[in-house]
Amino acid sequence: MHLIGELDVTGCDVLEAALRKAARPGRDLVVDCGRLRFIDAAGITVLVRAARMIGPGRLRLTNVRAGPAELIDLLNLPATVPNLRRDLA
């Protein structure tokens, strides 16, 4: 899955529906964030829900740009959501 542009409250329903279709318990899910410029708390919430949906699988956020990476780090998501991993762009 690839995220493009901005992920805020206005786009969360679409993303959540797509993640529900893609998520399989126990299987890894890769989300390419290379073209994601902005994410807000609502977008983070959708990603955390996706991580919970896949249970023991891993949610891998790849190519995370500096802005979104700062929010992920500020919230300490890799520590609080054990199956979430992120890579910098």
Nearest-CA neighbor of 59 among 23, 84, 33? Answer: 84
Q: What local confidence, expressed as pLDDT, does residue 40 receive?
A: 95
Burial pattern 48-61, b for ≥16 Cβ within 10 A else e, equals bebbebbeebebeb
- The whole-model pTM stands at 0.90
What CATH number does the domain located at 2-88 have?
Answer: 3.30.750.24
Could you give the CA distance from residue 36 to residue 38 in angstroms, rounded to a whole number? 6
Q: What local confidence, expressed as pLDDT, does residue 60 receive?
A: 96
pLDDT tens, position by position, 23-35:
999 999 999 999 9
